A and B are shown apart, each in its own frame.
Chain A
Amino acid sequence: MFGTQINLSVVRKLVQLGMFIFMVYGASIVGFYAADKISNALPALACAYDAETADYCTLIPFQHQMGHRVGRVIAAGGDVLQAFVPFFITLITFLGMFVLLNKAFCGWVCPLGFFQEVVTMFGQKLGLNKTESLDESLVKRIRPIKWIMLSVLVFGLPILSGIGFVSHDLGDPFCKICPSRILTTLATGSSDQLYVDTSTPTFMTLSIIGDFIFGLMIALALTIRQPFCRICPMLALHAVFKKIGLVRLIKNGKPRCEKCGLCAKACPMDIREIHTDMEHSNVLFADCTLCGRCVEFCPDKDVLQMKYAMFPIISADPQYFKRRKKAQTTWEKVNLFGRYCNQTNKSER
């Protein structure tokens, strides 16, 4: 499907770059006033705090609807169904978009996901040693965090703040710690969202956690792939609806798979099940970002496939695999530190 130079990862990077520019600076394209009115329910972390964003993520209306509508009706009484109407409208809008790309919103559209990949590339070019795969036990311990983030920070605390059980300062706690808020505003040249807020103990704590996570994410991303994605509540939200999306990941497992495992090594989210699962043909797991690397690095014909509804987008292919592997090796060889090392070694010899 792709020429010798162009592969799926290159196409994806170009799409991600275009989406980053559109999501972070797109207000002038969609219109200044329209920018926060397009969907308000984007299945990716483009940020409402960015004055130049083209559209923004669904997590902010969800938090506000839980606090301002649902929580308040629970506390003060009233029409519960009516309180859920804005939430349902946002959810339907979200699903309308999500169905089209499924979890590929993470791997192809999200500005924060792209930023982490760029940092990892930067780390590799600096000659820092990439952690190829995290330990299985560590991955297992990290996985529940995204569900906790979604249930506690996006839904739980905002509802409790609407009821009055916790402070109103906890009305949108995920936004307060979200690294995309800091990243996208900094990318537009504004330091407005990089702060420690000393107004209340709650805001102070949240702003310190948010800033700390942002710095931590950058340092981790230099050597570890997609560190924040692994705990992102958007990943969990996608996982709830992954069955209805049109983009799918299919596996026709063969006995050779057992000894191979190249797909799992290629996976930036360390989804080992993509290798070990031999029972299911639908292998779109909760942590998948539909980046397609597993398909690219599968050496066996048609064992892994990425499909759009019934139509194949890319299928595993031995020829493609060879080219892709070569391209990866060539790409990874080019790094400042590596060259320096090679030269030193040569001169030492």
Chain B
Amino acid sequence: MKPQPTGSQIFLATLLCLTTLEASAIMAIRPAPAKEHQHDRRAPKIFNLTGHENSQIKFLTPDLQSSDIKSDNGQIALHPTGKDNYHALYASREHNGVQESAIRYVYFNGKPTGRSPSEITFLNKTDFEIIPDPLAREHWHYKAGDEIAFVIRFKNTPLALHPASLATSNASVLESLTDTQGRVVFVLPDDFAKTIPHARANEPGELLIHAKHADHGNRYATWLSSDYQVSPEHWQSTELGAMVVGGGFLFGAFVTGLGFKRRRKKGEK
């Protein structure tokens, strides 16, 4: 197996610090390091499930068809389903008396199913769950600086004023509380150590939202993972843009004289 990149090690270390549960009690679904074939749309998407021992893994298509998935020592291969839109990959287990679950939404291209991703996100998949509200739309990504929101839900009921945390592979940690509707908002930190001035040249980072809960002596913990990208603000200047727009405007005003000259001529007649 390939050694993990340093960013991932920091990411896991951050998670270890974050959780007050046992150090091993972490579940997270992260993409395996990219290989050549992963640029092929028909190739399977490969993920690693941290905390795969004794877990049950399920895969849900956009039209809510569920199937069981086997992992190979934590490695999961998802083959394209031919259905367009977000699919849900999630795993759950009982570990040291804690009901744990991990989820990741995965996009596949294919034929439209006519179903909205909100059906898959809001479907009750595990007792304790983090729901993106909303997911990034097709062609869009979470990126540094974005406000992203999630609903924390237990047995179909949003949890008000409930703590949740966000950790990134670039070693940022944020903590926040849900509002009265059970919705928590994070501003994604701009924490990439190095940015290359070109959108396609930067590897995305990983983020992990985590929450835990206790109910009638039962303990629950859940994680939602996703990628996020470098903010293009590193190589795009709004101020310069506004100046060029101003330049274009002045040039246009100069060329047309904004009608003043003509009015004067008319007035002189």
With an 8 A cutoff between CB atoms, is B67 at the interface? Answer: no
Chain A residue contacts of B256, Cβ below 8 A: 131, 219-220, 222-224
- CB pair A195–B249 under 8 Å, yes or no, is no
- CB pair B244–A215 under 8 Å, yes or no, is yes
> Are A37 and B247 CB-contacts (below 8 A) given A196-B237, A200-B198, A222-B256?
no
> Are A194 and B242 CB-contacts (below 8 A) given A200-B198, A219-B251?
yes
Least distance between B248 CB and chain A CB atoms (Å): 3
Contact flags A177-196 to B (C-beta < 8 A → 1, else 0): 00000100000000100111
With an 8 A cutoff between CB atoms, is A216 at the interface? Answer: yes
With an 8 A cutoff between CB atoms, is B236 at the interface? Answer: yes
- CB pair A194–B245 under 8 Å, yes or no, is yes
Q: Number of residues in B with C-beta < 8 Å to the partner?
A: 41
- CB pair B237–A195 under 8 Å, yes or no, is yes
Cα A215 to Cα B134 with chains together (Å): 34
- CB pair B238–A195 under 8 Å, yes or no, is yes
- CB pair B245–A214 under 8 Å, yes or no, is yes
Flag the segment in B46-54, B93-101, B112-120, B209-217 that touches A: B112-120
Chain A residue contacts of B112, Cβ below 8 A: 37
Chain A residue contacts of B238, Cβ below 8 A: 191, 194-195
Chain B residue contacts of A215, Cβ below 8 A: 244-252
Cα A224 to Cα B259 with chains together (Å): 9
With an 8 A cutoff between CB atoms, is B139 at the interface? Answer: yes
Q: A221 — nearest CB in chain B belongs to which residue?
A: B252
With an 8 A cutoff between CB atoms, is A130 at the interface? Answer: yes
Q: Which residue of B137, B241, B262, B266 is within 8 Å of A196 (Cβ)?
A: B241
With an 8 A cutoff between CB atoms, is A36 at the interface? Answer: yes
8 A Cβ contacts from B205-225 to A: none
With an 8 A cutoff between CB atoms, is A9 at the interface? Answer: no
With an 8 A cutoff between CB atoms, is B138 at the interface? Answer: yes
> Are A195 and B247 CB-contacts (below 8 A) given A33-B134, A223-B256?
no
Interface pairs (9), CB distance under 8 Å: A127-B263, A129-B260, A194-B241, A196-B237, A199-B199, A207-B241, A211-B241, A219-B256, A224-B256
Task: Using CB atoms and an 8 Å cutoff, list the residues of chain A in contact with chain B.
Answer: 31-37, 48, 51, 123, 127-131, 168, 182, 191, 194-200, 207-208, 211-220, 222-224
Task: Using CB atoms and an 8 Å cutoff, list the residues of chain B in contact with chain A.
Answer: 85, 112, 116-118, 134-135, 137-140, 197-200, 232, 235-238, 240-242, 244-253, 255-256, 258-260, 262-263, 266
